[in-house]
Homo-oligomer: A and B are copies of this chain.
C-alpha cells in the first residue's frame, strides 16, 4: 500500500516523541508499505516565531512571514529523516518546494494549486521513505508560501490525492471521532467509519480532530482519511465515501458547541431590506452567523433571532445598536447548540421526533431549531446542554455498536 502519514505538532513535540514517530513509521515500512510522511513544526515553534515577528510589527508582510514560519517544519523533517536513517532506513527530507507543492500567492493562507509528484515518485521507486515539511509550498514566482492553520493536514491530503495513495493517516493526540465527547458521556464510543459529509458536520460543530478544509479536500480528491492517535496502537476512524460504508447507522453522533451566543431582535423596524442590511453588515465585519430564525409576532410585529460565536458577540452588539434595527434587543450568552448527525437520517423518518420527545421527557426547552439532510441542531439553555447530549446519546443507542 502507498500510505501518506501526517504527524502534528504534539506528536513531534520533543526529541523523544520524534523518536517514537520514527519507530512507528519504520514499523509501517516493515509491513511493506510505501510511505510519504508529512510533519508539522515541533509544538510551540510556530507560535514562538509569530511572537518574534510580532515584536517588530503588528502587520508584518505576509511574504516575509512565510519565509519565517516555513522553517519549523523543515527542522522536523530533517530530524525525522536523521532518526530513520540511524535505524537503518533510507529516508529523505523534502521542503514543500522539493515535494512539488505549488500554491497560489496568498501568502500565510495559500491554497494548493497543483502538485508535481515527479521527485516524490522517483524517490519512492528507490525505496526511500519521504519526509515532507508540511504546511508549506512554493508559489509560481518561486517564493515560499504557507497554507494557514491546519496546513499540514492539507499537505498530507493533497499529496495523498495527487499520488493516488491508498490511505492518508492523520496522527493526533486523540483516538479518532467519537459518538460524542467522552468527557460528557462516558459511554461514548469511537466511530470506526464515517462519511465525509458527517465528518464535515462534526468538524463545523466544533470537533477538534480535523479541520473542515482538510475533510473537504479529502472528499473532493476521494482520499481515504484515517484519524488516529500517535500515542497508542488503536485503530482510529476512517473517513470515506458514503458508498464505502456498508451499514451506515441512522445517527452517527451527538455534537455539543457551547461557544454560541444568541441575539434576539423583537419588534424589528418596518423597513424594506432591514434583514439584508443586518446580515450584510455582520458579514462585512467577518461575524459568522450560524442559525437564523424569523417569525411574525401575534401583534403583527417581526421578530428575528440568530446565533454567533461567543467571542464575536460584543462586535455583533455594537453593530446592532449602531443599526438601531429593532426596538427591543436581547443578548444571551448562556446557550449551547446540541446537534444530531447522521447520513442515515435522510432515509429514516422519526429521527427528529425522537430528538424532540427526548428533550421534552427531560423538560429541556428547545429555543431554536435548524435542520439539514444529515443534521438536526437545537439551541438550548447551556446548563441543560450536557444532560441533553447524554439523553440523546442513549435515545439513539449510540453506546451500542450498530
User: Which A residues are within 8 Å of any B CB, using their own CB?
Assistant: 15, 18-19, 22, 49, 52-53, 55-57, 60-61, 63-65, 67-68, 70-72, 74-75, 77-79, 81-83, 85-86, 92-93, 95, 98, 142-144
Q: Which of B52, B81, B95 contacts A61 (CB 8 A)?
A: B81
Across the interface, do B52 and A64 meet the contact criterion of CB distance under 8 Å? no
Q: In the complex, what residues of B have CB within 8 A of residue A60's CB?
A: 82, 85-86
Across the interface, do B64 and A85 meet the contact criterion of CB distance under 8 Å? yes
Q: Which of B19, B53, B78 contacts A64 (CB 8 A)?
A: B78
Across the interface, do B65 and A78 meet the contact criterion of CB distance under 8 Å? yes
Instruction: Show 10 A/B contacts (Cβ-Cβ < 8 Å), sorted by A.
Output: A15-B55, A19-B55, A22-B56, A49-B75, A61-B81, A61-B82, A61-B85, A68-B79, A71-B71, A71-B74
Across the interface, do B56 and A67 meet the contact criterion of CB distance under 8 Å? no
Q: In the complex, what residues of B have CB within 8 A of residue A83's CB?
A: 56-57
Closest to A84 in B: B56
Q: In the complex, what residues of B have CB within 8 A of residue A143's CB?
A: 98
Q: In the complex, what residues of B have CB within 8 A of residue A75's CB?
A: 49, 52, 68, 71
CA distance in complex: A56, B86 (Å): 7
Across the interface, do B93 and A56 meet the contact criterion of CB distance under 8 Å? no
Across the interface, do B93 and A67 meet the contact criterion of CB distance under 8 Å? yes
Q: Which of B53, B56, B63, B82 contacts A56 (CB 8 A)?
A: B82
A-B residue pairs, 3 tightest by C-beta: A68-B78, A71-B71, A67-B78
Q: In the complex, what residues of B have CB within 8 A of residue A77's CB?
A: 67
Instruction: Given contact pairs A53-B78, A61-B82, A68-B75, enumerate 7 new A-B contacts (beta carbons under 8 Å).
Output: A15-B55, A19-B55, A53-B82, A56-B86, A68-B82, A71-B71, A71-B75
Closest to A119 in B: B142
Across the interface, do A67 and B74 meet the contact criterion of CB distance under 8 Å? yes
Nearest chain B CB to A245 CB, angstrom units? 41
Across the interface, do A15 and B71 meet the contact criterion of CB distance under 8 Å? no
Q: In the complex, what residues of B have CB within 8 A of residue A144's CB?
A: 95
Q: In the complex, what residues of B have CB within 8 A of residue A57's CB?
A: 82-83, 85-86
CA distance in complex: A53, B15 (Å): 9
Q: Which of B53, B63, B67 contacts A95 (CB 8 A)?
A: B67
CA distance in complex: A19, B67 (Å): 18
Q: In the complex, what residues of B have CB within 8 A of residue A86's CB?
A: 56-57, 60
CA distance in complex: A58, B83 (Å): 11
Closest to A69 in B: B78
Across the interface, do A53 and B79 meet the contact criterion of CB distance under 8 Å? yes
Q: In the complex, what residues of B have CB within 8 A of residue A53's CB?
A: 78-79, 82
Q: In the complex, what residues of B have CB within 8 A of residue A55's CB?
A: 15, 19
Given A57-B85, A79-B56, A142-B98: A64 in contact with B93 (beta carbons within 8 A): yes
Closest to A71 in B: B71
Nearest chain B CB to A306 CB, angstrom units? 39
CA distance in complex: A256, B276 (Å): 83
Nearest chain B CB to A94 CB, angstrom units? 8
Nearest chain B CB to A21 CB, angstrom units? 11
Closest to A55 in B: B15
